[in-house]
Structure 1
Amino acid sequence: MAAGGTPLIKGINSGESLLKFIDRAVRPDAGYIAKCQELVGKFVKFLDTKNGPLNVNKIVTAGPLVSGTAVRGRADIDVIIFLNGYSGVRDLSRDISNVLRHLKTFIETDVTWAKSLVFKAMTPQSVQFLLNVGDCDFEHTVDLLPAVDISKTMSQSAIYEEMKDQADIRRFYSVSLAAFNFRFLQQVPAKVKDLIRLVKYWQRVEDVPIGSCFIETLVVAVWREDHKPQNFDMNKYLRQVMQRLSQIKTLAVVIEDNYNHRLYRNDLKAPYLLDPCNPYKNTAPSIGDIHIVKKKADALLGSLA
């Protein structure tokens, strides 16, 4: 509890440590994750059937459930569907509306899946469904994302070079690059992932306008700046993350494992936090939202003091 009896974070009990709170209320139950993964696996198998409307090369699942950073009650899933028959990203972008429509129709005509999946929305790049798992009350968003597997014939640096001259369709490259994010989080210790979950939980209960990729990258950046310890004080690290959010107006973070951002970006102005696998994607919140982020972070900092 903070001073005056106000909870440090909504839902935490009086005298409860952050580690115990994460274990009790933030980290998903292993059995539940297994149930989610089993259902998603069956769904992927259904999508990959030869009777489907699309010429599927392979299907890759991504997102917090796969990377191990999902929060209890929210395990959104990205299903990247790599397609045959398209010469490149631009070729697919021209046909994306038809592809998405075929996907939606194919799924909705199957009675079995209708019991677990309910159509949510169509975006310019995906079809979104709500997934219900067993008898649980939780609903998770499943994003179906058609893509071209350009990594089979191009290195990451070659992909970034191609994106230089494709400003009008760069957003479509993000899906093809999304699978690389799994590798970025794969070697991160479990305790860092718990901190990511804790910040995501705070973001959700406080309605803070920051995204999942932003949180993951910021927490990993804080950890790496401290020379990647396997163990650390959770309160101290939460404070460091909130300090960065409190100063978000001047935030400038790039993790350059995969690229030298200066080769691709000469337009960066704070705040920015680049996707570690995509130099053209700034994951930081918009200028219009940074005052909200700062206000929420300052409130938590005051409780942590």
Structure 2
Amino acid sequence: MGIWGSHLYSVQPEKLDELIENSLRPYEECQRQIHDTVNAICAILQETEQSPPTISVVKGGSYGRETMLRGNSDGTIVIFVSDFEQFQDQKKKQDEILTKLWLCLTECQFTRKMPAKMEVQKSPSGLTLQLSTRSQNIMFKVLPAYNALGLSEKPTPQTYRELRRALDMTKAHPGEFSVCFTELQQRFFHNHPRKLKDLILLVKYWYQQCQERLKGLSHLPVYALELLTVYAWEQGCRAENFDMAEGIRTVLGLIRQQEQLCIYWIVNYNFENETVRNILLSQLKSPRPVILDPADPTNNVSKDKACWQLLKQEALSWLSSLSPSQSPGSSWNVLPVPLFATPGHRLDKFIKDFLQPNKQFLDQITVAVKFIREFLQKNCFRHSRTKVQKTVEGGSTGKGTALKTGSDADLVVFTDSLKSYTSQKNERCCIIKEIHTQLVACQREKEFEVQFEISKWKAPRVLSFSLKSKVLNESVNFDVLPAFNALGQLNSGSPPSPKVYADLIDLYKSSDAVGGEFSTCFTELQRKFVVSRPTKLKDLIRLVKHWYRQCERKLKRKGSLPPKYALELLTIYSWEQGSGAENFDTAEGFRTVLELITKYRQLCVFWTVNYNFEDETVRNFLLTQIQRTRPVILDPADPTGDVGGGDRWCWHLLAKEATEWLSSFCFTDGTGYPVQSWKVPIVQTPGSCGMGIQPLVNEMFAVRSPRTLEWSF
């Protein structure tokens, strides 16, 4: 392994790609010699009369998955034998078949010249074939198997029913017949990028170093670590090119949380068939860690708890070496158990464990934001007549719906120089320059308990900074936004004057202003609308936002998704109309939100807490808004802000994801049966909001949307 072998823990993060290329990937020439030899052997096994009647030969293990380390590695050569007509035959006739294979390979060893040196060994534990070149050695297990897939590319539920029956009849251990699904395992890895396989090499090499350091470390299938790495990449990155240090930090971070690991895929099996569902439910209820083979639901590849405990300590050590400073270093936001695998009755615990921010970090953020707000109010425009009237914290942290990692927030600065919506649009650039100057000064003056980083100033419309924990992988990203104080001195409990909205509507109708462009002026109202809600509803919002993030990561290249704010409002609407209780079933609420998303083409949602139909200008405008192309979801603080957006965003992509998720484990109770959703109207009308306006208006609205009493079930 060259100089790297004894100094892995001292490798700098930026040198990890170099380590992989120079020391971990097999040499191309050695790979070619191995490949040519394996292909020749496979051809012999299929063509020679001494070999058992063979349907096909498949290459598996690290060799088949293209995750071989330089030096010593493993592989499997799986021979699908026509004599095996069911899973049980593998146990009944295996010795006879192995003897035939051994005779065939031994003759090949002594009579055929191969590019790589080959050595065949037969023992009570099985048949192995060792191939060696100048700097590569691969130990292949030669395994006869039942062709469970037949001519199909994917298994049917019947295949897994037969597998379950065979395990029971033969009293085989779970996963014993997983070799029958080698093609599926191989295909699963071939669909992932080369750099992910390089990350797998790094993880496997780290495991080798652990084995050398801990002589008593019991054997953990490297397949478990390979699958864990794939999971980390799928959940946290999905990019073909990524930062290798971030990737390895993420995988080691998951190993640290091995007591909670529960990972599976539904690419080859799912919950629809009763037999498979029962297998999955049994596996997912078993002690953690759980990492299921994506090809075989009976095969939990991560059962050795003692080994995981030792690896946890080693992971802590290497994480420290990768992040020598106090900062933990950046990693992907990946949870040890996916939301999809979390049953409905455990969603509250999922939110508490993985989505709610750390209280100490929130307290630090509160102190830092308070200081920054006071600093800006005191120091901005000291040498001019312009004064900062107030600063308001909005976004997720202001509303109390922040997620543990990477939440967003707004810091809205109201100045007396912005005397209208138009002046906000025209003069914000100059104000942002002044705010930027003062933020830099604030950064120099105060030592915060969190890291205070100002982003490079690119756009004149917005200024950003982030506050990051020095010890936790938690952060909040802030946008600083200057705004016109349209609300003036807002009286507690009183809605704004209708004139505020009439002026906004007149500007919107007479100019090129975009709907919602001045929503920052109403940040206090947006915040108040959410802050007063029960804690559990805010947790449901966190859950929906976490789900949205996963969709966003998966769909970001396919189209522009609707804003998170639309889903926050939809969640509040679902609760108001369907529950209204401070304590409710989270799975039922989550299901209701997703069902409403699937019905986006009919959605019409609005509130009358800050504006209503009493003022003529506002009334006429609202009637126009709620007859727009669906979905319509009006910002309760700004009637020009339709965050539903009609055809503006790709709701169809989100609806497709929601439809798939409705069959997830999230919407099952402890016994595996589905939970129900709340009864919520899809369409609101002025009448349904208690607005007693003339029947003619309701009739006009009914012409546009006749299905006014549709419900979500």
TM-score when scaled to structure 2?
A: 0.39
Asked if 1:223 is matched to 2:227, the reply is: no
1:129 aligns to what?
A: 129
- Measured against aligned partners, the alpha-carbon deviations of 1:107-151 in whole angstroms (never above 9, x if no partner) come to 224413698322345465x41122123xx1432101111012121
Cα distance in 2 between the residues matched to 1:189 and 1:123: 38
Mark the runs of 5 or more structure 1 residues left unpaired by the alignment: 1-5
- Measured against aligned partners, the alpha-carbon deviations of 1:228-285 in whole angstroms (never above 9, x if no partner) come to 1222211111011001111212211112222236431314221111111111111114
The CA deviation at 1:199 is 0.6
Asked if 1:165 is matched to 2:170, the reply is: no
Question: Which one of 228, 252, 258 corresponds to residue 248 of structure 1?
Answer: 258
1:175 aligns to what?
A: 179
> Which protein is bigger by CA-based radius of gyration?
2
Asked if 1:184 is matched to 2:188, the reply is: yes
Residues 275, 283 of structure 1: 8 Å contact kept: yes
Asked if 1:263 is matched to 2:278, the reply is: yes
Question: Which one of 231, 242, 246 corresponds to residue 232 of structure 1?
Answer: 242
CA distance 1:159–1:219, shift in 2 (3 Å):
same
In the TM superposition, 1:1-305 aligns within 5 A as 7-9=7-9, 12=11, 17-110=15-108, 111-112=110-111, 116-120=117-121, 122=123, 126-133=126-133, 136-152=134-150, 155-167=155-167, 168-169=171-172, 171-207=175-211, 209-260=219-270, 262-265=277-280, 266-267=282-283, 268-305=286-323
Cα distance in 2 between the residues matched to 1:101 and 1:295: 44
Which shows bigger deviation, 60-69 or 76-85?
A: 60-69
CA distance 1:45–1:9, shift in 2 (3 Å):
farther
The CA deviation at 1:101 is 2.1
The AA in structure 1 aligned to 2:131 is L
The CA deviation at 1:210 is 2.9
Which shows bigger deviation, 278-287 or 103-112?
A: 103-112
CA distance 1:302–1:244, shift in 2 (3 Å):
same
Mark the runs of 5 or more structure 2 residues left unpaired by the alignment: 1-5, 212-216, 272-276, 324-713
CA distance 1:153–1:20, shift in 2 (3 Å):
closer
How many aligned positions are there? 295
Cα distance in 1 between the residues matched to 2:192 and 2:13: 29
The AA in structure 1 aligned to 2:239 is P
Cα distance in 2 between the residues matched to 1:213 and 1:171: 13
Which shows bigger deviation, 215-224 or 200-209?
A: 200-209
The AA in structure 2 aligned to 1:264 is I
Cα distance in 1 between the residues matched to 2:299 and 2:176: 11
CA distance 1:302–1:141, shift in 2 (3 Å):
same
Cα distance in 2 between the residues matched to 1:293 and 1:121: 33
- Measured against aligned partners, the alpha-carbon deviations of 1:5-25 in whole angstroms (never above 9, x if no partner) come to x93448x5x797001111100
CA distance 1:299–1:88, shift in 2 (3 Å):
same
Residues 82, 149 of structure 1: 8 Å contact kept: yes
Cα distance in 1 between the residues matched to 2:63 and 2:318: 27
Residues 273, 283 of structure 1: 8 Å contact kept: yes
The AA in structure 1 aligned to 2:64 is V
Cα distance in 2 between the residues matched to 1:277 and 1:162: 14
The AA in structure 1 aligned to 2:258 is I
Cα distance in 2 between the residues matched to 1:41 and 1:152: 22
CA distance 1:60–1:242, shift in 2 (3 Å):
same
SS at match of 2:57: strand
Cα distance in 2 between the residues matched to 1:237 and 1:195: 7
CA distance 1:29–1:138, shift in 2 (3 Å):
closer
SS at match of 1:119: strand
CA distance 1:301–1:233, shift in 2 (3 Å):
same
Residues 175, 300 of structure 2: 8 Å contact kept: no
- Measured against aligned partners, the alpha-carbon deviations of 1:197-219 in whole angstroms (never above 9, x if no partner) come to 11111112321643221122111
The CA deviation at 1:159 is 1.5
TM-score when scaled to structure 1?
A: 0.87
Cα distance in 2 between the residues matched to 1:31 and 1:109: 26
Give the percent of matched residue pairs that are identical in Structure 1 and Structure 2: 23
The CA deviation at 1:152 is 1.1
CA distance 1:66–1:195, shift in 2 (3 Å):
same
The AA in structure 2 aligned to 1:290 is W
CA distance 1:172–1:248, shift in 2 (3 Å):
closer
SS at match of 1:150: coil
Residues 293, 299 of structure 2: 8 Å contact kept: yes
SS at match of 1:210: coil
Which shows bigger deviation, 261-270 or 285-294?
A: 261-270
Which shows bigger deviation, 147-156 or 289-298?
A: 147-156
CA distance 1:157–1:122, shift in 2 (3 Å):
farther
CA distance 1:120–1:245, shift in 2 (3 Å):
farther
The AA in structure 2 aligned to 1:117 is M
Higher relative contact order, chain-length normalized (CA < 8 Å, sep 6+): 1
- Measured against aligned partners, the alpha-carbon deviations of 1:181-226 in whole angstroms (never above 9, x if no partner) come to 1111112111111100111111123216432211221111011112
1:3 aligns to what?
A: none
The AA in structure 1 aligned to 2:305 is I
CA distance 1:94–1:174, shift in 2 (3 Å):
same
